[in-house]
Amino acid sequence: MAAARSGERPSLFVAAAYKAGTALPLRGGFMAKIVFVLNGPNLNLLGTREPQTYGRATLKDVETLTRAAAASHQLKVEFRQSNHEGELVDWIQEAAAKKAVGIVINPAGYTTTSVAILDAILAVKLPVIEVHISNIHARESFRHDSYVSKAAKAVICGFGIEGYGLAVAGLAALAGAGSK
């Protein structure tokens, strides 16, 4: 897709791309790139779920933090959570169809079980940053072996919800996105 040059008004062609969901126009006419931020099972319960391990921040707080980090790199965010493996697979495929610059994913309980999520990541060839709020390596051994890590560009764990912001910054660097 031809990107509008900085300062140009978006063309009809660009508007069509926006409608198709492949890009988002910003003021000044250039196109924001999109990052998909996907959250797996039980992360909807952040804030009340095992706060000694996952902290008191809610998923809404994670979304706010992630959007702020993305905005500072002129990136837009698709922020989603599901308790269902297939829905996460669908969203990974959707990220590719919409030409996202990459995916930040906290696969949560599917980290150590989901060949389907691993295969989706391998299929789409987008850079994927795997995030865990807790340091999974300091926890039970069954949390250590991640299928997702086999295809992830990078893995961040143990920084609490700040890990999402770090992941977005990493993707922005990979994508060559600007910063403000």
In the complex, least distance from residue 127 CB atom to ligand DHK, rounded to whole angstroms: 20
- Ordered alpha helix ranges (H), 98-153: 115-124
With contact defined as beta carbons under 8 Å apart, do 141 and 112 qualify?
Answer: no
Decide if residue 88 touches ligand DHK (CB under 6 A). no
In the complex, least distance from residue 44 CB atom to ligand DHK, rounded to whole angstroms: 11
Pairing of strands 75-81, 31-39: parallel
Task: Return d(Cα 119, Cα 179) in angstroms, integer.
Answer: 32
- Residues 40-59 binding ligand DHK (CB under 6 A) are 42
Stretch that binds ligand DHK, among 61-69, 74-82, 86-94, 106-114 (CB under 6 A): 106-114
> Nearer to ligand DHK by C-beta: 8 or 145?
145
> Nearer to ligand DHK by C-beta: 25 or 109?
109
Task: Report the DSSP beta bridge partners of residue 99.
Answer: none
Q: Which residue in 90, 71, 73, 70 sits closest to 82, CA to CA?
A: 90
Q: Where does this chain bind ligand DHK (CB under 6 A)?
A: 42, 106, 108-109, 111, 132-134, 136, 143
